[in-house]
Amino acid sequence: MMQLKAVSFPNVTFDQVKRQFLRSHDELAKFNSHPSIAAAPDRIAQLKGFNNSIDTLIKLKLLGPTDYNNHEKQPFSYIPIDVMINLLFPDLRDVQGLQLASNYGPYLLYLKENGCNNMFGIDIDSYAIQYAQEIGVTVLQANAEKLPLTSSLLDLVISENFLDIFYLSPEQQNEILKEVLRVLKPNGFFISQSEDLTAKPEKPFSAEVQRSIGVFDEIRVFQKTA
């Protein structure tokens, strides 16, 4: 029976991780100034019927909690995931992958412009999805508890700050993880960043790497295995 098992990479050296971390850091930092990233908050605000992002923030704050900050998400936020992906997949061009709760897909845009054309996202925010279409990123409107995908389709699923008890009950987390397991190919990977999973799996790297590059405390990696 296939299951998601936490995996670690004790043989990956500090130097390997450091080199990829510096590369990801520099490339993602540069990409933050991409015109489509800079334009996202105001454009999505306009699609929602507001004048701009400041107008959105003021009015939505009066209504209560808002996902406004998701529209300001920048690729730089995904450094730990980017390091992990590049260590697992040296050639991303043929990787079939999905990001859960991707919003308009700032990291997906980065991947696409770096030759990874088979990554897509899902989200429930129709305005963010509309903006994703405008900038050429594929984001489907779907619930992560029932993915509109065939089984054993994907090499990779990523999730950042979504599978968290602040947003989801343990039961919802479990349903989503079952769906992740279903859509991954055998030996496919699920990478989780900044998420309070109900289970506490082991960290992916050696103690030296974890101590030296603290952002990897945020990362957990699972593989679909028998």
Decide which of 224 and 196 is more confident: 224
pLDDT band at 55 (very low <50, low <70, confident <90, very high): low
Mean pLDDT of 12-27: 93
Decide which of 50 and 19 is more confident: 19
List the beta strands (DSSP E) in 16-161.
Answer: 97-99, 119-123, 139-141, 154-160
- What pLDDT is recorded for position 69? 61
- Is 81's pLDDT higher than 90? yes
Taking only the tens place, the pLDDT of each residue in 110-166 is 999 999 999 999 999 999 999 999 999 999 999 999 999 999 999 999 999 999 877
Report the share of the chain in percent with pLDDT over 70.
89
Which pTM does this prediction carry? 0.91
Lowest mean pLDDT among 63-67, 149-153, 170-174, 180-184: 63-67
Which domains does the chain show, CATH number per domain?
Answer: 3-225 (3.40.50.150)
In a 13 Å sphere around the CA of 49, the CA atoms on its Cβ side amount to: 3
- Is 106's pLDDT higher than 90? yes
Report the share of the chain in percent with pLDDT over 90.
62
Write the burial class of residue 60 (CB in 10 Å: 0-12 exposed, 13-18 middle, 19+ buried): middle
Question: Cα 188 to the chain's mean position, in Å?
Answer: 16
* Nearest residue to 66 via CA among 82, 78, 76, 53: 53
- Is residue 226 within 8 A of residue 1, CB to CB? The reply is yes
- What pLDDT is recorded for position 65? 42
Q: What H or E segment, with its residue span, contains residue 128?
A: helix 126-134
Cα dihedral across residues 89, 215, 105, 31: positive or negative:
negative
